[in-house]
Structures are given as C-alpha cells and as structure tokens.
Amino acid sequence: MTNIIDGKIVAENVVETVKRFTAELTGNHGVQPGLAVVIVGEDPASQVYVSSKSKKAKECGFLSVQHTLPADTSEADLLKLIGELNADKTIHGILVQLPLPGHIDSGKIIQAIAPEKDVDGFSFINVGKLGTGEVDSAFVPCTPAGSMLLIERVRGKDLSGLNAVVVGRSNIVGKPMANLLLAANCTVTIAHSRTKDLPALARTADILVAAVGRPEMIKGDWVKPGATVIDVGINRIPAPEKGEGKSRLVGDVDFAGASQAAGAITPVPGGVGPMTIAMLMANTLVSASRSAGVEPPAF
C-alpha cells in the first residue's frame, strides 16, 4: 500500500512549532519576528501568493509588513526600500515577490537583501553555505527545505546509502534540493532536459524528486518499486470532463501510475505546496531567534 504523504499535516506541525516559539520569543525576550513582503506591480498570481504569506505571518504572531509598489517603480527606488528594511531592527525576513517587471534586475535586487534576512535563501552567501554543507547556518529555499522535511518523515534524517535523483536543475529547487540530499549522505544525481535515458536513470532512485514544470512527465514505469517520490510540480491542464473551459492541477509525476510502484508519494495539490509557506515562517522565526541570541527550534 503506497503511503500518500500529506503535506498539509506536516506543514501544520511546522506552523504550530513556529507559533509556540514565537510566543516564547515575544514573551520572554521581547522580540516579535517581523516579515516584510515586497510586491511590484499588479500580477494576479503574485497578489494571491503575497496575500497568503502575509495572512500566515499574522496567524503565527509575526509583525507582517507588506509594501505594494506600482509596476513603474524604478530599480533605484526598490533598492532604497530594501536598504531601509535591511536596517530595520523589527524586520527579520525580507521577501521580494518574483517575477519583477522587466526593467528591474531581479538578481541585483535579491543580492541586495541582507543574508541574515534572506528567508528565501537566494543570496549568494546562503547558496554558498548550503553548497559547502553548512546547512545549519544557511537559509535554505523554502520549497526544497519543505520537500526535505517530507522525505525525513518517511526515511529519517540519515539517508546514507540511498540513491537520489533530482529531475530539474533550477537555482530555486533542483540545485538546493541536491545539496540537501548530499548533506544527508545520499548519492545524488541531478538530471535535466539533456540527460540521456532519463527513464532508466529515474528507476535507480530510492528518492525521486521531480521539479521540471512539465505536466505528468515522470511516468509510473520510471519509478523504482518502493521509492519515495516528491513531486514539486504544479501545472494547470485542461479538464474537459469537469465542463467546458475547466482545468485541474497536476504535478510533474503521473500520480496514478507512480502510485502503483512508489512506497511513498506526494500528491498535487496537498503535498509540497503547503510546505513552502510553512518553511518561510520557520526561516523567519529562525532569523528572529538568531537576532535575539536565542537557540532556534529544529524543524
């Protein structure tokens, strides 16, 4: 019987820990975690993401600050705002919602965020720490951090001797995911669009992570019997069976097929998705704890 990994339950556990430690940090040390979210322009999807992040921050007991800037905001003005947030002692996490308008250099903006407030884990300092195995002092990007927690719930923290295949090499998911698996003593292969005989490689994986953004690309017969499958993809595809113009969400894995072989698998939706915002809250709490000289909780 395949174990369907419920990301909602694990995310709720993380958020409960965040709430509890936030109350202690605020009550005993007078430090309330502060998260600032910056959005430029009126992109509807970004508005939804930002709203959910701000709502969750308030639910956790954080100081939640949102800066909504017009689409024609200059790069200089955005950099000025980030400089002010870097200097603001009440703010422990700074998140700039991507994508940014075309006239703004996203890389320059991300690298302007102070590494100790970079709760998205995108600054070169945090990327470098993760890449050199300094996982405990790095901020890890939220989606791979959440995916790793789901893997640990199934396999434990020490993954020695297991083969892991990560399909996808993005800086946001694929590469940090591979570094986390390496730090847990996996033997890791990163696969991508140029990989030869991807199905055969996937079948070697005890842990298979799909992060390519292509609907149901990973077929059921690519999955090694008993493997743990983590599906990071969120794709919207037509669903004519629901009615004209309707759609549904699917992952990068053919869930029905892969479920026949996998020992454990994340669904879409309800798997990795809820973990992303939960880990953003966790990272913000860790930043606030460090600023107060308090040992942060383990997740």
Reply yes or no on whether 97 is catalytic: yes
* Catalytic member of 56, 117, 118, 120: 120
Does the active-site annotation cover 53?
Answer: yes
Tell me, letter by letter, the H, E, C secondary structure of 136-175: HHCCCCHHHHHHHHHHHHHHCCCCCCCEEEEECCCCCCHH
Q: Which two tokens stand for residue 248?
A: 């549904």
Q: Is 58 a catalytic residue?
A: no
Distances (CA, A) of 237 to 183, 213, 217, 247: 35, 12, 13, 5
Which stretches does DSSP call E strand in the chain?
A: 3-4, 34-40, 63-69, 93-96, 163-167, 187-191, 207-210, 228-231, 235-238, 247-250, 264-265
Residues 6+ apart with CB under 8 A from 46: 39, 97, 98, 99
Which of 53, 56, 129, 175 is labelled catalytic?
A: 53
Element (H, E) at 80: helix 75-87
For 168: left if phi > 0, alpha if psi spans -120 to 50, otherwise beta; the answer is left
Sheet containing 34-40, strands listed edge to edge, beginning at the edge strand earlier in sequence? 63-69, 34-40, 93-96
Contact 250, 242 (CB under 8 A): no
Question: Residue 132 gets which letter from DSSP?
Answer: T
Catalytic pick from 56, 97, 118, 231?
97
β-strand 207-210 against 235-238: which pairing, if any? unpaired
For residues 56 and 285, the answer to whether their CB atoms sit within 8 Å is: no
Question: Which single residue is written with the structure tokens 């953004």?
Answer: 213
Q: Known catalytic residues?
A: 53, 97, 120
